Amino acid sequence: MAGPSTTTPPTGGVLESLSNDLAGAVDRAGQSVVAIQARRRIPASGVHWRPGIIVAAHHTIQREEDITISLADGTTVAATLAGRDPSTDLAVLKVDDAKVPVASLADGSAIRVGALVLALGRPGIAVTASLGVISTVGGEWRTWHGGTIDRFVRLDLSIYDGFSGGPLVDASGRVLGINTSGLSRGAALAIPGSTVNRVVDQLVKTGRVARGYLGLGMQAVRLPAALVEKLSLPNDVGLMVVSAEPGGPGDTAGILIGDVLIAIADKPVGDPADVMSLLGGDQIGKPLSTGIIRGGEPKTVSITIGERPREPRDARDPRAGRRGR
């Protein structure tokens, strides 16, 4: 007698359910995604982050006047630039009459390696999507332009033309952050929601993110072992001053080309990133004790931290010749 027949359970129902869930996530999150006409090429994307507040990618906002926003309901409204922060590649636009939903934000704990995510954009009338996963999650990091991003989030998906400034959303349609191709030459990254909120708060309040600076050009140099031993230095690397902006904080304090910085506020420095991490906006106007080596001898100089000047419009992105998405 033949045994009972066995059948393989169909998988179509599971796949169809996943497909429907993802399509639903795009429908929900896509209502808050807008198209921004602020450059010559195709529109860029943005997110209705708070009532009347549109978050966009800084590098896609190539003009500061005559900006228009196309909403999910098909209407077009005028927008004004409230402020931008090149160091985190974020910009904030204000609109008076955005009758579309505000984005639903996810908790930061939802940013996990392997999580299925969607990148959304609206580079035209309709919302578009790209599917992938979060490939890497790391700690706080500093961009090539000195901005602080709370978490490093690399994506295994495509950031198509017009997608920068659009949202990264989870499978339920909640927004995890803002996608950008402007912070890395070879990888799609997302700026987590916690960073976006912090930068938006500052841009709405003051129109800029204030950052301190010394007005010094520096490069790391290896210190002679005998000098390290003589001065009981904690490490054998310092920062040699190779340029000083006339009238800048370092120049005003008497720093000379050839001086080697070894400590700021009693914290050893051996890389320009060490210095930048100590120059937050809260340090502007404060004198910081700076340890240097001049002519082989230790010296302490007090430098009053200045505010980094705003950059000329045509110098905000050193990769200006490269197409931004």
Q: Is the pLDDT of residue 246 over 90?
A: yes
Total residue count of the chain as it appears in this document: 325
Question: Domain residues for 276?
Answer: 212-307
Q: How many domains does the chain have?
A: 2
Share of the chain above pLDDT 90, in %: 71
Share of the chain above pLDDT 70, in %: 92
Assess if residue 10 is contained within a domain: no
Assess if residue 8 is contained within a domain: no
Is 58 annotated in the active site?
A: no
Give the SS3 label for residue 27: helix
| Least confident piece of the model among 84-93, 112-121, 149-158, 306-315 | 306-315
* Residues 272, 256 share a domain: yes
Question: Element (H or E) spanning 138, and its range?
Answer: strand 128-138
CA angle, 179 as apex, 176 and 184 as ends, to 5°?
130
E runs forming strands in 95-162: 116-121, 128-138, 141-142, 148-149, 152-156
Residue of 164, 170, 181, 259 marked active site: 164
* Residues 277, 161 share a domain: no
**pTM check: above 0.95:** no
* Alpha helices by DSSP H, the chain: 12-30, 193-206, 225-231, 249-252, 272-276
Residues 6+ apart with CB under 8 A from 128: 120, 121, 122, 160, 162, 163
Give the SS3 label for residue 174: coil
Task: Name the band, by pLDDT with cuts 50, 70 and 90, for residue 242.
Answer: very high
| Least confident piece of the model among 9-18, 153-162, 260-269 | 9-18
Q: What residues form DSSP beta bridges with 116? A: 133
Is 145 annotated in the active site?
A: no
> Do 153 and 190 form a contact (C-beta atoms < 8 A)?
yes
Q: Which of 164, 181, 206 is the last residue of a domain?
A: 206
* Residues 196, 110 share a domain: yes
* Residues 217, 199 share a domain: no
Residue of 48, 85, 87, 89 marked active site: 89
Assess if residue 321 is contained within a domain: no
Assess if residue 319 is contained within a domain: no
| Least confident piece of the model among 3-7, 66-70, 193-197 | 3-7
Assess if residue 22 is contained within a domain: yes
Residue 238: CATH number of its domain:
2.30.42.10
Question: Element (H or E) spanning 193, and its range?
Answer: helix 193-206
> Do 80 and 203 form a contact (C-beta atoms < 8 A)?
no
pLDDT at 323: 47
* Residues 116, 85 share a domain: yes
Task: Give 61-101 pLDDT, tens digit per residue.
Answer: 999 999 999 999 999 999 999 999 998 999 999 999 788 89
Residue of 48, 58, 59, 145 marked active site: 59
Overall average pLDDT of the 230-257 stretch: 94
pLDDT at 318: 37
Q: Is the pLDDT of residue 155 over 70?
A: yes
* Residues 216, 195 share a domain: no
Is 302 annotated in the active site?
A: no
> Do 129 and 26 form a contact (C-beta atoms < 8 A)?
yes
- Which of the pair, 204 or 280, is modelled with greater confidence? 204
Overall average pLDDT of the 24-28 stretch: 96
pLDDT at 6: 57
For residue 230, what are the CA distances in angstroms to 216, 286, 296?
Answer: 27, 31, 10
Q: What is the largest CA-CA distance in the chain?
A: 100
DSSP 8-state secondary structure symbol assigned to residue 309: P
Q: How far apart are CA 16 and CA 24, in angstroms?
A: 12
Assess if residue 95 is contained within a domain: yes
Q: Is the pLDDT of residue 321 over 50?
A: no
* Residues 170, 26 share a domain: yes
Question: Element (H or E) spanning 141, and its range?
Answer: strand 141-142
Q: How far apart are CA 146 and CA 142, in angstroms?
A: 6
φ, ψ (nearest 5 deg) of residue 242? -110, -10
Q: Is the pLDDT of residue 138 over 90?
A: yes
Residue 112: CATH number of its domain:
2.40.10.120
* Residues 225, 169 share a domain: no
* Residues 185, 81 share a domain: yes
* Residues 220, 161 share a domain: no
Overall average pLDDT of the 11-40 stretch: 91
> Do 67 and 109 form a contact (C-beta atoms < 8 A)?
no
